[in-house]
Amino acid sequence: MELEFLGTGSGVPSKIRNVSSIALKMLQERDEVWLFDCGEATQHQLLSSTIKPRKISKIFITHMHGDHIFGLPGLLSSRSFQNGTESIQIFGPKGLKKFLETSLETSHTRLKYDIEFVELNEGMIFEDEHLSVSCFTLIHGVPSYGFVIQERDSIGHLLPEKLKEKGIHPGPIYQEIKKQEVTVLPDGTHVHRDEVTGPPIKGRKIVICGDTKPTKDIVQQAKDADVLVHEATFTNKDLQLAEDYNHSSSHEVVRLASLANVSQLLLTHLSSRYNQSDLEQELNQLKSIFHSVQYAYDSFKYEVK
């Protein structure tokens, strides 16, 4: 799993930051890319990445503000032109379906694939044998959501010494043993998988929040997450602006991350009022509160381990 930030600005694009969009690349795990928000010119940002639009199978929209949705019609149209024929699921708040259908209809855009719209409500919105996605409400003046992507635990690693004790030598049989609970060897011996594997490998947890004021629910939802992606539109000196516009300040977010015991905090949705030196100075202060914090930037990649 790898997160790639396609846009890390807020409100309007700047020379160095496009508006909101984050790709969750799961090419090895399931040969898919999931997109979280799709601000204006997201498809242009994709041109600077290795992401193929046809690999995007799901799009999750946190809320209906323009800097999070204006890139959708163009991206969907381009995906159709670029050999994208597989259906796509789009998860978002009420009104998203109407916005997209109106945009595509009035621009006479015909897609080569089907769209399945899923209107967001709190709770589980997707699950399969590999992972689940749930959403929860935030506070932003309009309906806004956070998403919890939880990978299921996987079978522990094979223990070669245990296999050798049973007279089993390396080969294709190793994979057979790992795939099934009980394997019967040619000599009739029964090998129980749990006897020759280590403890289960804990699934990774990623939490991606839309625009919001800080809330106690975020702490609960992000508990022990491997990565929390959260907006930090304003620095601490502009705390009142964050309050006035239903956003979060950087100091508020690092306190949430600390309480939630997340492994890594990635801050995005940054106001263009701050230059790089402002953010470097702010980051030094933030690290004194929570050391595993970083400001994301356009094209920034983070491997979720």
Task: Write the pLDDT tens digit of every residue in 218-228.
Answer: 999 999 999 99
Q: How far apart are CA 243 and CA 214, in angstroms?
A: 10
Single out the residue of 268, 274, 287 nearest to residue 235, CA to CA.
Answer: 274
Q: How far apart are CA 247 and CA 209, in angstroms?
A: 11
pLDDT at 185: 87
Q: How far apart are CA 68 and CA 21, in angstroms?
A: 7
pLDDT at 83: 81
Residue 281 · residue 265 · CB < 8 Å = no
Q: Supply the residues annotated as catalytic.
A: 67
Would you say 65 is a known binding-site residue?
A: yes
SS3 298: coil
144 vs 200: which has the higher pLDDT: 144
Q: How far apart are CA 134 and CA 208, in angstroms?
A: 11
pLDDT at 235: 97
**Would you state the torsion angle of the CA atoms of residues 41, 212, 269, 46, taken in this order, to the nearest 10 degrees?**
-40
Would you say 169 is a known binding-site residue?
A: no
Would you say 108 is a known binding-site residue?
A: no
Would you say 230 is a known binding-site residue?
A: no
Q: What's the full length of the chain, in residues? A: 305
pLDDT at 301: 98
Is the pTM of the predicted complex or chain greater than 0.85? Answer: yes
Q: How far apart are CA 33 and CA 51, in angstroms?
A: 8
Would you say 194 is a known binding-site residue?
A: no
With a cut of 90, say whether residue 169 has pLDDT above it.
Answer: no
Would you say 68 is a known binding-site residue?
A: yes
Residue 298 · residue 8 · CB < 8 Å = yes
Place of tokens 């699921």: 89
Q: How far apart are CA 23 and CA 3, in angstroms?
A: 6
Q: How far apart are CA 104 and CA 205, in angstroms?
A: 35
All domains in the chain, ordered by first residue: 1-120 (3.60.15.10), 128-153+202-296 (3.60.15.10), 160-193 (no CATH)
